[in-house]
Amino acid sequence: MKHPHIPYARQWIADVDIQQVVDTLASDFLTTGPQIERFEAALCELTGAGHAVACSSGTAALHLACMALDIASGDTGLTSPNSFLASANCIELCGGRADFVDIDAHTLCLDPESLAAYCRSHPAPRVVIPVDFAGTPADLPAIQSLANKYGFQVIEDAAHAIGSTYSHEGSTYQCGCCSHTDLAIFSFHPAKTITCAEGGAVMTNDKILADRLRMLRNHGMVKFPELAGDAADTDLHGPWYYEMHTLGANFRITDVQCALGCSQLTHLNRFKDLRRKIVHTYNQAFKNDDRLILPPRALAENACPHLYPIQFVQGSRTRKKMFQTLADHKIFCQVHYIPIHLQPYYAKKYGYTQGKCPKAETYYSRTLSLPLFAALTRDQVAYVIKTVKDLM
């Protein structure tokens, strides 16, 4: 059977999604219009969070979240080394220092025990950014408990985890609900479960933070006369009046993107179901192969899977050969992630070296993300499985 090339991730855009975008293109608003508020309301309805602030990307969402918390020079922020660069760069962009604590080898998320050990031996961080890796929720209740003890704030990086849930003390929570965090962020890159083509959002239950996020998203400006102070009552000022109260940026998202996001959200349950079925099929196919370590159990139990990362027990040489040979068979995988602390920027600036986060480093040396996306067909999944097994 011949197959066209199979990427590790791909968006699924339906005709109804396209029509929503076309309708918005024909409307009076292409940006800063009603589709943004509609999308934000839908995100609040999904997660249960009180406020959503949509923005231009997941990276922008992380940056905005750190800005809203006033992260600045002299502040340390901690995150997982097993993530994309943005999870740490947002701290640096605000003038803080990004540091890292190791992952839990079973969840592949930031390890609360390693975080506790860090807090016992260092000055408390200002912020901690746990990452819901591959769709598996980080242990947010445990991290919140440490936040209460040591006084730091928490931003959930849920870029991988829209639609994922976690349980605590008999209740179930949506990732992004902010029940155990100060803020949470989503990404809507095309590789994610739902897409706005590009886009992100910051979630919070704190109205003051939400208002600050909206201001920071739009150059630090306040545009409404009733919020602009006494000057708005003079003859020189009126409905056009605005004030810049702080240094912000243009992190706005467009109505066109949000129209796509609103439509994509209506497919979320279906996308989640299809992704979970693919994960189940992979797990059944590989479960008895002692040369492989399967993804975290939570990925199959309560997550909306974003990635399917397997590990080759024999290590990096086997992984590299598999990566290259699968590409020869038109199966294009990816590696998630090179530990952030080993990137030249961080290694040179802070002296971070190999051995700082040994579990993340070991995981990186043998991991490979197989294709996983809602539009992946049964035949394609079977072809991926057969090819991996034939090459082992």
Phi, psi of 293 (to 5 degrees): -110, 120
Supply the CATH number for residue 274's domain: 3.90.1150.10
> Within this chain, do residues 64 and 200 fall inside the same structural domain, yes or no?
yes
Q: What is the pLDDT of residue 35?
A: 98
> Within this chain, do residues 307 and 381 fall inside the same structural domain, yes or no?
yes
Mean pLDDT confidence for 230-247: 74
Mean pLDDT confidence for 343-361: 98
Q: What is the pLDDT of residue 314?
A: 92
Whether the predicted pLDDT of 162 surpasses 80: yes
| Dihedral Cα 307, 384, 321, 317, nearest 10 deg | 50
> Within this chain, do residues 339 and 248 fall inside the same structural domain, yes or no?
no
Per the structure, the count of domains in the chain is 2
| Residue type at 41 in one-letter notation | A
Q: What is the pLDDT of residue 239?
A: 74
Residue ending a domain, choose from 239, 265, 291: 265
> Within this chain, do residues 217 and 139 fall inside the same structural domain, yes or no?
yes
Residue ending a domain, choose from 200, 232, 265: 265
383 lies in some domain = yes
Q: pLDDT category, 226, cuts 50, 70, 90? A: low
Whether the predicted pLDDT of 229 surpasses 70: no
> Within this chain, do residues 252 and 281 fall inside the same structural domain, yes or no?
no
**Rounded-to-integer distance, Cα 142 and Cα 327, Å:** 40
Residue ending a domain, choose from 243, 265, 287: 265
> Within this chain, do residues 91 and 219 fall inside the same structural domain, yes or no?
yes
Mean pLDDT confidence for 4-9: 93
Q: How many CA atoms lie within 13 A of 44 on its CB side?
A: 15
Supply the CATH number for residue 112's domain: 3.40.640.10
Phi, psi of 370 (to 5 degrees): -80, 160
> Within this chain, do residues 331 and 236 fall inside the same structural domain, yes or no?
no
> Within this chain, do residues 32 and 133 fall inside the same structural domain, yes or no?
yes
Q: What is the pLDDT of residue 242?
A: 86
Whether the predicted pLDDT of 225 surpasses 60: no
Q: pLDDT category, 174, cuts 50, 70, 90? A: very high
Q: What is the pLDDT of residue 290?
A: 95
Q: Residue 144 sits in which domain range?
A: 15-265
Mean pLDDT confidence for 155-184: 98
Q: Which range, of 64-73, 136-145, 292-301, 372-381, averages the lowest pLDDT?
A: 292-301
Q: What is the pLDDT of residue 235?
A: 67
**Rounded-to-integer distance, Cα 208 and Cα 68, Å:** 9
Q: Which range, of 2-11, 86-95, 205-214, 328-337, averages the lowest pLDDT?
A: 2-11
Sign of the four-CA dihedral 260, 373, 190, 268: positive
**b/e string for 120-129 if b means 16 or more Cβ within 10 A?**
eeeebbbbbb
Tell the residue number behind the tokens 């086997």, with chain if given: 318
Tell the residue number behind the tokens 């076309």, with chain if given: 22
Whether the predicted pLDDT of 215 surpasses 90: yes
Phi, psi of 195 (to 5 degrees): -135, 150
Mean pLDDT confidence for 9-32: 97
245: tokens are 């109260």
51 lies in some domain = yes
> Within this chain, do residues 242 and 279 fall inside the same structural domain, yes or no?
no
Cα angle value 243/247/249 (rounded, 5°): 100
171 lies in some domain = yes
Pair type for strands 200-204 and 153-157: unpaired
Q: Measure CA 12 to chain center.
A: 19
Exposed (0-12), middle (13-18) or buried (19+): which is 345, by Cβ within 10 Å?
A: middle
| DSSP secondary structure string for all residues of 120-171 | HHSPPPSEEE-B-GGGPPP-HHHHHHHHHHH--EEEEE-TT-TT-EEEETTE
Strand order in the sheet with 127-129: 51-55, 200-204, 183-187, 153-157, 127-129, 76-79, 97-100
Question: Is the bond leading into 345 cis (omega within 30 degrees of zero)?
Answer: no
pLDDT digits (tens, 9 = 90+) for 269-287: 999 999 999 999 999 999 9
pTM given for the model = 0.96
Q: What is the pLDDT of residue 238?
A: 73
Q: What average pLDDT is seen over the chain? A: 95
Contact 197, 191 (CB under 8 A): no
Could you tell me the maximum CA-CA distance found in the chain, to the nearest angstrom? 79
pLDDT digits (tens, 9 = 90+) for 129-150: 999 999 999 999 999 999 999 9
pLDDT digits (tens, 9 = 90+) for 290-338: 999 999 987 778 899 999 999 999 988 999 999 999 999 999 999 999 9
